């Protein structure tokens, strides 16, 4: 009887999975960065995550990434912190500065990634093009 309870407890621990692929990947990147790894391998990815990595690559936070079957290999660049923004707040052009001050350490340091009706953009481009949207992630 006790053996069966132990087996069920172990199974419950193994079944838990997150639903947010972007948050899992950015968390894995932070863990890899702290462990001084050069690259991180992720087993799940989406088109939105690839767009986030494209923007991070433009700014030097990611050196390169490759899709190898179902796996995604991310070569880490130089960053201090990256994270997903939860919950994904709706933001207007006027409210971008409020969230920039909340998530980024200095005025010209880092990027907020915003999902707009024209795709994923940085907070600077959203401000220039007068776009609002939903906050997705930040890097600095």
- CATH number assigned to the domain comprising residue 54: 3.30.1370.30
The tokens of 43 are what? 């087993």
Instruction: Tell me which of 76, 104, 119 is where a domain ends.
Output: 76
Strand 133-139 with 111-116, pairing: antiparallel
Q: Which domain holds residue 113?
A: 82-139
Q: Give the global pTM.
A: 0.85
Q: If DSSP codes are grouped into helix, strand and coil, which group holds residue 113? A: strand
Residues 93, 69 within the same domain: no
Residues 31, 86 within the same domain: no
Residues 24, 87 within the same domain: no
As a whole number of angstroms, the distance between CA 76 and CA 115 comes to 23
What does the pLDDT look like over 16-43, one tens digit per residue?
Answer: 567 899 999 999 999 999 999 999 999 9
Domain count of the fold of the chain = 2
Q: Which residues of 108-129 are buried (b: 16+ CB within 10 A; e: fewer)?
A: eebbbbbbeeeebbbbeebbee
Instruction: Tell me which of 57, 76, 95 is where a domain ends.
Output: 76
What does the pLDDT look like over 74-120, one tens digit per residue?
Answer: 999 999 999 999 999 999 999 999 999 999 999 889 999 999 999 99
């Amino acid at each position: 009887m006790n053996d069966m309870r132990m087996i069920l407890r172990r199974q419950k621990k193994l079944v838990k999975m997150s639903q947010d692929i972007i948050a899992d990947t950015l968390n894995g990147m932070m863990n890899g960065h702290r462990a001084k790894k050069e690259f991180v391998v992720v087993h799940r990815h989406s088109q939105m995550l690839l767009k986030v990595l494209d923007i991070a690559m433009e700014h030097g936070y990611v050196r390169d990434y490759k899709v190898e079957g179902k796996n995604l290999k991310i070569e880490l660049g130089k960053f201090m912190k990256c994270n997903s923004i939860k919950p994904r707040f709706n933001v207007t052009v006027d409210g971008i500065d409020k969230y920039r001050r909340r998530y980024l350490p200095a005025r010209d340091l880092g990027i907020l990634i915003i999902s707009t009706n024209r795709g994923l953009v940085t907070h600077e481009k959203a401000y220039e093009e007068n776009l609002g949207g939903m906050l997705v992630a930040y890097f600095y």
